[in-house]
Amino acid sequence: MTTFTNDPTMPTPSFPGSHMVIDENYVFISGITVSDLSNGQAAQGDVKEETHLIMRAVSRMLEMEGGSLADIMRVDIHLKDLKFIHDMDGVYAEFFEPGRYPARTCTESPNICGGGHVEITVMAKRQLAKEQ
pLDDT tens digits for 50-81? Answer: 999 999 999 999 999 999 999 999 999 999 99
pTM attached to this predicted model: 0.90
List, in sequence order, every beta strand (DSSP E) within 53-102.
72-79
Pairing, β 103-108 against β 72-79: parallel
58: domain CATH number?
A: 3.30.1330.40
| H and E: helices and strands count for the chain | 3, 6
Domain count of the fold of the chain: 1
Q: How confident is the model at residue 43 (pLDDT cuts 50, 70, 90)?
A: low
List, in sequence order, every beta strand (DSSP E) within 33-117.
72-79, 103-108
Q: How large is the C-alpha radius of gyration of the chain?
A: 14
pLDDT in tens, 29-42: 999 998 888 655 55
Of 35, 33, 22, the C-alpha closest to 66 is 22
Q: Find the domain containing 89 and state its range.
A: 3-131
- Is 104 in contact with 121 (CB distance < 8 Å)? no
